[in-house]
């Protein structure tokens, strides 16, 4: 009675097929209800065992051929018992899916989201993470590394490389990303039993930015210094504080998103991180600050705080609305100047304006977290815990009306 492999019940038991002088190892397999044949000779019909003599093919080294055929048959049976035969590709595949290339799995992670479809903006960010991780693996000579080859020591090298070329804050972004990726491999794909992040050596986070809330006087000093340095930068910081939006979300705004008559900014779903479009009203004097910097007619698609093509001398021409989107890094460089001028201690960042505002709403104006997320657009209040860690620091008074 034929014994089929438990691993490959769709395959028959391999046999040695002798078609006159031509030998092969053969088994049948089913795909979509149809029976097909896989037949390979593995060198059984090579010149080592067959010879043409005066136009007639004759068998040579017969005993060696029989022994070799026996070994091939054993090997084929062993493969059917330990590997998966893919009827689509007609190739054997490892049952251990963790031997897949990590870069292939990272690419698949772009499409994974347990609760909703990944936003294109998130995919864009994660693609940049994957590209940078790929660059580090190339530096390590591990561009073809399987998932199960990437242990905690490799992860540490990836994070160390990112920190050396960027910052500890950037390193921590990648640490969170890789933590999510390995959790996806353990819990969703079920191809790892344990995340290497779990065994990662502790990382010194003493100098990592924590986005501390500004005390009143320091907030005023930073805004005044920003206004002296660049009115556009001042406006960006002020709107981070008033709208509770991320800087990069504000820089995605276009002229068409501003309703100057109603004093409203529209944040469409494609421009913000949450899944809900938002309308944010500004006080008339705040909207007037924007209008005061307008000096012409603008295209509906012009970007807020954008710029136009460089002049012949190589200088960028900025405008309150312009065709080219200004990257956030441009304003990050300006904030570094303010950090130096005011000797800001570590932890005070551009994002601190959002933290300060949220804490002020909760601490000074007794807003509930449910009220705050109506303004931020988040779907649950858990995210606010990130912004209220520094709750004991003194807050500034929040205006009666945004």
pLDDT of residue 393: 34
205, two tokens: 């986070």
Residue 275 has pLDDT above 70, yes or no: no
Q: Convert the pLDDT of each residue in 67-77 to its tens digit.
A: 999 999 998 98
Residue 115 has pLDDT above 70, yes or no: no
Q: How confident is the model over 78-93, as a mean pLDDT?
A: 84
Burial grade of 206 (CB within 10 A; 0-12, 13-18, 19 or more)? exposed
Q: Tokens 């490959």 identify what position?
A: 8
Query: Contact at 8 Å (CB) between 21 and 83?
Result: no
- The backbone torsions φ and ψ at residue 59, rounded to the nearest 5 degrees and listed phi first, read -85, 140
Cα 138 to Cα 141, 176, 187, 210, distances in angstroms? 5, 21, 28, 32
Please give the residue that has the higher pLDDT: either 199 or 203: 199
Residue 334 has pLDDT above 80, yes or no: yes
Q: Where are the domains of the chain?
A: 15-95, 102-199, 216-387
15, two tokens: 């046999």
- Distance, CA of 79 to CA of 87 (rounded, Å): 14
Q: Convert the pLDDT of each residue in 365-381 to its tens digit.
A: 777 777 766 666 655 55
Tell me how far the alpha carbon of residue 249 is from its chain's centroid: 18
Mean pLDDT of the chain: 82
Query: Sheet holding 278-281: strands in order across?
Result: 258-259, 264-267, 278-281
Q: Looking at domain 216-387, which CATH architecture does it have?
A: Orthogonal Bundle (1.10)
Give DSSP secondary structure letters for 364-384.
TS---HHHHHHHH--SSGGGH
pTM of the model: 0.48
66, two tokens: 């029989």
- Distance, CA of 339 to CA of 329 (rounded, Å): 15
Q: Convert the pLDDT of each residue in 200-242 to its tens digit.
A: 654 544 444 457 788 889 999 999 999 999 999 999 999 998 8
Give the closest residue to 80 by CA, choosing from 95, 100, 97, 65. Answer: 95
- Distance, CA of 176 to CA of 199 (rounded, Å): 15
Q: How confident is the model over 145-162, as a mean pLDDT?
A: 88
pLDDT of residue 178: 94
Query: Contact at 8 Å (CB) between 393 and 215?
Result: yes
């Amino acid at each position: 009675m034929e014994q089929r492999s438990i691993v490959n019940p769709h395959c028959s038991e391999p046999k040695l097929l002798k078609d006159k002088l031509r030998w092969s190892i053969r088994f049948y397999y089913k795909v979509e209800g149809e029976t097909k044949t896989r037949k390979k000779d593995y060198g059984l019909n090579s010149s080592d065992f067959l010879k043409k003599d005066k136009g007639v093919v004759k068998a040579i080294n017969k005993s060696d051929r029989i022994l070799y055929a026996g070994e091939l048959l054993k090997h084929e049976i062993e493969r059917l018992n330990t590997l998966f035969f893919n009827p689509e590709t007609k190739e054997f595949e490892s049952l251990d899916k963790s031997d897949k290339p990590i870069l292939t799995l990272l690419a698949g992670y772009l499409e994974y989201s347990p609760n909703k479809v990944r936003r294109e903006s998130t995919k864009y960010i994660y693609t940049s993470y994957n590209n940078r991780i790929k660059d580090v693996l190339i530096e390590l000579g591990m561009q073809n590394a399987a998932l199960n080859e990437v242990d905690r020591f490799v992860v540490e090298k990836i994070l160390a490389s990112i920190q050396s070329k960027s910052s500890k804050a950037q390193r921590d972004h990648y640490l969170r990303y890789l933590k999510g990726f390995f959790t996806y491999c353990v819990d969703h794909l079920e191809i790892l039993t344990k995340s290497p992040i779990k065994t990662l050596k502790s990382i010194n986070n003493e100098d990592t930015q924590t986005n501390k809330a500004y005390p009143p006087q320091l907030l005023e000093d930073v805004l005044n210094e920003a206004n002296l340095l660049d009115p556009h930068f001042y406006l960006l910081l002020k709107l981070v504080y008033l709208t509770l939006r991320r800087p990069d979300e504000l820089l995605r705004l276009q002229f068409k998103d501003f309703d100057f008559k109603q004093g409203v900014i529209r944040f469409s779903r494609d421009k913000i991180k949450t899944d809900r479009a938002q309308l944010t009203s500004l006080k008339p004097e705040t909207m007037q600050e924007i209008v005061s910097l307008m000096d012409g007619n603008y295209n509906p698609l012009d970007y807020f705080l954008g710029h136009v093509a460089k002049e012949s001398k190589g200088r960028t021409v900025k405008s309150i609305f312009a065709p080219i989107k200004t990257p956030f890094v441009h304003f990050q460089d300006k904030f570094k100047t303010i950090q130096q001028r005011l000797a800001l201690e570590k932890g005070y960042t551009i994002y601190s304006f959002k933290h300060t505002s949220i804490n002020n709403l909760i601490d000074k104006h007794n807003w509930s977290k449910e009220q705050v997320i109506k303004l931020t657009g988040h779907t649950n209040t858990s995210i606010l815990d990130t912004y209220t860690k520094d709750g004991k620091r003194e807050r500034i008074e929040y205006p009666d009306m945004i």
